[in-house]
Amino acid sequence: MAFNTFYNEILTDHNMHPGNKHKIEDPTYELEGVNPSCGDDIVLQLKVSDDDTIEDAAFVGDGCAISQASADMMCDLIKGQKKEEALRLGDIFLRMIKGEASQEEIDELDEAGCLVDISHMPARVKCAVLGWHTLDEIFKKNS
């Protein structure tokens, strides 16, 4: 597989130092996300204020490098954002993985944009979207 260097570096970095892989004390929402086809299993936790600002986001669990790095990048991206903005970014990510997002949109995803090549690796798509789907479900369940 032809991974570019940028992709590799970011992926490795998020796996070696997953800054958001820990438990949140007293989370507002918590939901498990499972990808049986790979064995990825995470629990996403969010702390959300009364005005729908995501004050903290973190996850625990196990899985392959892509699932863990993607969840870690997502937490970085959505922290401090409003719920609507997080969902909008999540939508861009999911469309990016399907190969449907514009370059301008992908740039908004910051580091998570480096996962754009996953769209060419169907077997890894479920790994990459696991955290993002879980985020989506949390807000759907609690809206």
Candidates 89, 93, 87, 29; CA nearest to 56 is 29
The secondary structure of 46-106 as a DSSP string is EEE-TTSBEEEEEEEEE--HHHHHHHHHHHHHHTT-BHHHHHHHHHHHHHHHTT---HHHH
Q: Does 34 help bind Zn ion (rule: CB under 5 A)?
A: no
Contact 60, 115 (CB under 8 A): no
Interacting span for Zn ion (CB under 5 A) from 36-44, 72-80, 81-89, 95-103: 36-44
Only one residue has tokens 């944009």, namely: 113
Interface stretch with Zn ion, choices 14-22, 35-43, 77-85, 94-102 (CB under 5 A) = 35-43
Cβ proximity to Zn ion: between 90 and 131 the closer is 131
Judged by CB under 5 A, the residue of 87, 115, 127, 129 near Zn ion is: 127
Q: How far is the CB of 143 from Zn ion (least distance, A)?
A: 28
The residue type found at 85 is E
Q: Of 15-23, 65-73, 76-84, 102-110, which part binds Zn ion (CB under 5 A)?
A: 65-73
34, 64, 94, 121: which one contacts Zn ion (CB under 5 A)?
A: 64
Which residues sit at the interface with Zn ion, rule CB under 5 A? 38, 40, 64, 67, 127
